[in-house]
Amino acid sequence: MRVPFLDIKAQYQDLAGELDQTALDVLRSGAYVLGPHNKGLEEEVAQMHGVRHAIAVNSGTDALRILMEAAGVGPGDEVITTAFTFVASLEAIVQIGAVPVLVDILPETFDLDPAAIEPAVTEKTKAILPIHLFGQLTDVRAIETIANRHRLTVLEDAAQAIGSHCEGRYAGQWGRGAGLSFYVTKNLGAIGDGGMILTNDAEVDANSRSLRVHGMGRERYYYDAVGYTSRLSELQAAFLRVKLRKLDEWNAQRDRIAQVYLQQLAGVEGIHLPKLHPGNNHTWHQFTVRTSRRDELQAFLKEREIDSMIYYPVPLHLHQPYARFSGAPGSLGVTEEVSRQVLSLPVHQHLSEAQIEHVVASIRAFAASPAAV
């Protein structure tokens, strides 16, 4: 039985009539740049996350880069974060001239280890960039306490965490701002690229709006900074507004599937299941297990037509462009071990009951099989 990792076509079929009509409406309107759908999307996502301001931009990478600049992070400033993330997290730091300081992660939740933060703080440290990986927030309460103690700025990489919260405080409320991604594969995915900055800070909001349009200030053709061209397409904003109305339903379905995995795979030998920080929900952008037999398991599933993915096979400090920001291999021991063990299973909202059962039965069969010599 075929089990795809994602089913973008099925997602389109869910909303085909509305999406088709929306495209025509935008095309006929002539409002293609920062039009009413951009404004509407900003208002709706801001309300969802309980923040005052949302700024739509053209990618999740730009959301992080512009957020950091808008919050005053610049050349020579150190930003504490992890190497177990998509490259955009570090890429954005380096591109603005700041310095990523990489610390280790927690093996059960794959995110920044709060105990590793304070030993990494120096007089040059300006910010902490927690990565809300795979759909749940980091240990935000511990990070907030450390940041307050050292007067550091918290900027959240929430690219994979729209709808995620801890005890009702959503991503974007735990620091000066957060960056979202609307890439195609995200829980709320555009039909292309897209991103958004969330903040309660009026200065970050004003700076971000300026930076996304060439650094232009309140008056047209007068510039306050060296900025970017980072406007979200009006078509993408319109599509995202249609999909946003389904997001809670889709996330609930992802959670239902994840709960089946958690219940049916509990206690299966050699399979370590993901855990939640206390108080967190989980939107399950990925359902990621760990096993010392990762490559064997992936091959076993492939034979049974079950897709899986490895996020991330090589941590960023072991890639040439970022090696200078960390020690030699082995310097981030937990990160490196986790990278050798992680495997993400299908958890998208269009899986059938039979497909879910096939995944569970196949993993149980694998665990009962002898390890390759």
The CATH class for the domain spanning 8-102+112-241 reads alpha beta
DSSP H/E element including 345: strand 342-345
* Overall average pLDDT of the 98-115 stretch: 97
| Partners of residue 57 on adjacent β-strands | 195
Distance of alpha carbon 112 from alpha carbon 338, whole angstroms: 13
Q: What is the distance between the terminal CA atoms of the chain, rounded to a whole angstrom?
A: 28
Mean pLDDT of 49-70: 98
DSSP secondary structure code for residue 166 in this structure:
E
Confidence of residue 373 (pLDDT cuts 50, 70, 90): very low
State how far the Cα of 124 lies from the Cα of 334, in Å rounded to an integer. 26
Class of the CATH-defined domain 246-368? alpha beta
Q: What is the pLDDT of residues 291-319, one digit of tens each?
A: 999 999 999 999 999 999 999 999 999 99
Confidence check: pLDDT of 185 > 80: yes
Phi, psi of 26 (to 5 degrees): -65, -45
Is the pLDDT at 64 greater than 60? The verdict is: yes
The pair of three-digit structure tokens given for residue 203, joined into one six-digit string: 């200065």
Q: 79-104: per-residue pLDDT in tens? A: 999 999 999 999 999 999 999 999 99
Would you state the pLDDT for residue 148?
98
pLDDT per residue as tens digits for the range 124-179: 999 999 999 999 999 999 999 999 999 999 999 999 999 999 999 999 999 999 99
Domain with CATH 3.40.640.10 in the chain: 8-102+112-241
Q: What is the pLDDT of residue 313?
A: 97
Model pTM score? 0.96
